[in-house]
Amino acid sequence: MYMGRVFTHTARRSLPPGVVDDALDAFRNPSKWPEWNSIAKNLLATNPETMDEGDHLAIFQTIKGGLIETKWLVKSIRSGDDFCEIELLGEGQYRNERQIAKGLKNLSVSITFLSQDDGGIEVHSSCEVSRLMMIFSKQINSFIEKQTHQFLEDLSDVN
């Protein structure tokens, strides 16, 4: 039985359909991530031009002089006439090929693009932590909120 806690945060922004479509196109094309994503200075992907279920992404960024690699799995993509929902599942974070941030379990980001009048983009992030990690709950909550808003801000500003 799991005795930890789940942290979640959701943010949404109303945007015109054209902006939502542009954001979705940029998100589904991994080679364009460094153009719109303020964190992804470099990115490796299973396929650099498209994103499909089961694909893997590796985002590289420099933090305090160290190269950090964050790995994601494209867990699911659901789409219809005016919407697309993409769920990314975190596969870990690495510094110099050694895993860091091991305390976060089932880190996921779900992004919904609703391309219609009164539509927009919604980002939902969640993770689980053990009871031992609860002493860092303020920092974990801050991380989840920051990650959620970073995706929303970056996608809202796609040109």
Q: What is the 3-state secondary structure (H, E, C) of 17-73?
A: HHHHHHHHHHHCCHHHHHHHCCCCCEEEECCCCCCCCCCEEEEEEEECCEEEEEEEE
Looking at residue 64, its pLDDT comes to 80
Domains of the chain: 5-156 (3.30.530.20)
Contact between 13 and 114 under an 8 Å Cβ cutoff? The reply is no
* HSE (side-chain half, CA atoms, 13 Å) at 19: 16
What CA–CA distances, in Å, run from 89 to 16, 27, 66, 135?
A: 28, 15, 23, 24
Q: Measure the CA dihedral 128/28/100/9, to 10°.
A: -30
Within 40-157, strands assigned E span: 42-45, 56-63, 66-79, 83-95, 98-100, 104-114, 120-129
The pLDDT score that the predictor gives to residue 3 is 59
- What local confidence, expressed as pLDDT, does residue 4 receive? 75
Reading the chain (159 residues) residue by residue, the pLDDT tens digits are 455 789 999 999 999 999 999 999 999 999 999 999 998 888 899 998 999 999 999 998 887 878 889 999 999 999 999 999 999 999 999 988 888 877 788 999 999 999 999 999 999 999 998 888 888 889 999 999 999 999 999 999 997
Q: What is the dihedral angle through the alpha carbons of 44, 143, 17, 55, rounded to the nearest 10 degrees?
A: 30
What's the pLDDT score for residue 67? 84
What's the confidence (pLDDT) of residue 6? 92
Q: In the prediction, which pLDDT does 148 show?
A: 97
46 is written with which tokens?
Answer: 């299973």
